[in-house]
Amino acid sequence: MCVNIPQSLSQLGLLLGYLAAVSVGGYTLGRASEILLGRLQARVIGGVLLGFAVTLPEYLFALISTLSRHNDVALGSAFGGNIFLFTLLYGVLFLANKSASTAYRGLMFDVAVLGSSTLLIFFASIINTLNIYVGLALILLYALFIACSARGSDDLRRENPVDSLSTRSKFESLGFLAVGLILTVGFIHPLVNQVVLFSSTVGIPPLITSFTLVPAGDELPELVAMFTLLKSASKRNTDTQGSQAAYANLIGSKVQSNTLLIGTILIAASIVGNPIVVSDKYTWFTLYAMVVTTFTGMFATFSTTRRSVGVLLIVVYFIIMGVSVGLGI
């Protein structure tokens, strides 16, 4: 196959530009959370606020793909996002985290919801019932997650009252949050489109792109936000709190991905008359890999801080990507 090198380089330049914009968006979202850190429960900041913000681009991408009747692209992005997070991002977090305390018990409910939604998706795929009713069940799990997080925050504030944010801090936090959302939402879809266009030019199958390159773009804000939380906490000598917020960010975003995102696309697919079915070997592989890596990440959240495990998770990510490319070609 003949590749147009000048065209490929031009598209690569656009790709890197979009990546830079999304990275800045992730950084500003992390700054918004840093301002709130210490005023609200780390679980609420990371798991709900920041988790929703960085999941929004992935959510919109999957929804648009489903409405366009590209269910395989939507599932590839959703499953690939979980695998990317619980292997590569978790591995990086293990390597970068200086705090020895990772067993943040405030995440127990979040992890339970994540595990329940993962099993529901898995067994519904096996018996071929990924329909509107499963979608509604996942949305109910999401509502339960939000309600429990809000209640936990209220209980904590009653037990440990803190000073309210100053007017300047409020505007600063809102400003960072607005800029972060504008950049991530505004540039994530041009980034995804550019990834697909660049991949087509150099001969990468679109099916591979939806599972490998698309999640890398969608999850980039989470990586930058995670480093921002760890760095800011280290400067303030609150490493443990920063670690908790970073873990809550990653866990919370995948809770929302498994419940709100997948629940919505199941409902949308049923409404447009194109129900989702896991049938080909590639999609089955991504589903199995998603389930295994999700439960591995859940276990690692409370059981280990060793950097060797972080290295192993990163290696596992590249093994999964290699196998997926082999299946898809």
Average pLDDT over residues 313-329: 84
Q: What percent of the chain has pLDDT over 90?
A: 19
243 against 252, higher pLDDT: 252
> If you write DSSP's letter for every residue of 292-323 in order, what string do you get?
HHHHHHHHHHHH---HHHHHHHHHHHHHHHHH
Amino acid 119: pLDDT: 96
Amino acid 106: pLDDT: 63
- Count of C-beta atoms within a 10 Å radius of residue 99: 18
CATH code of the domain covering residue 163: 1.20.1420.30
pLDDT digits over 255-274, tens only? 888 999 999 999 999 999 99
Amino acid 138: pLDDT: 96
Average pLDDT over residues 186-215: 76
Amino acid 157: pLDDT: 46
Q: Distance between alpha carbon 94 and the CA centroid of its chain, in Å?
A: 17
pLDDT digits over 107-151, tens only? 788 889 999 999 999 999 999 999 999 999 999 999 888 887 766
- Distance between CA atoms of residues 243 and 100, nearest Å: 9
Whether 252 has a pLDDT exceeding 50, the answer reads yes
Write out the two tokens for 328. Answer: 């898809």
Closest alpha carbon to 117 in 152, 142, 85: 142
3 state DSSP class of 131? coil
Amino acid 289: pLDDT: 92
- Count of C-beta atoms within a 10 Å radius of residue 38: 15
- Distance between CA atoms of residues 313 and 26, nearest Å: 23
Q: Is the dihedral of CA 67, 68, 74, 75 positive or negative?
A: positive
- Distance between CA atoms of residues 244 and 46, nearest Å: 8
Residues 113 and 138: beta-carbon distance below 8 Å = no
Amino acid 318: pLDDT: 92
Q: What percent of the chain has pLDDT over 70?
A: 71
pLDDT digits over 270-312, tens only? 999 999 988 878 888 889 999 999 998 888 877 766 778 888 9
Whether 47 has a pLDDT exceeding 80, the answer reads no
Structural domains in the chain (count):
1
34 against 168, higher pLDDT: 168
Closest alpha carbon to 47 in 62, 57, 36: 36
Residues 294 and 118: beta-carbon distance below 8 Å = yes
Stretch (H or E) spanning 33 = helix 5-36
**117 lies in which domain range?**
5-328
Helices 71-84 & 307-328, crossing angle to 10 degrees? Answer: 160
Whether 213 has a pLDDT exceeding 60, the answer reads yes
258 against 240, higher pLDDT: 258
| Beta carbons within 8 Å of 24's beta carbon, 6+ residues apart | 183
Amino acid 212: pLDDT: 78
Whether 39 has a pLDDT exceeding 90, the answer reads no
Amino acid 165: pLDDT: 57
253 against 97, higher pLDDT: 253
Q: Is the dihedral of CA 15, 78, 27, 315 positive or negative?
A: negative
Average pLDDT, the chain: 77
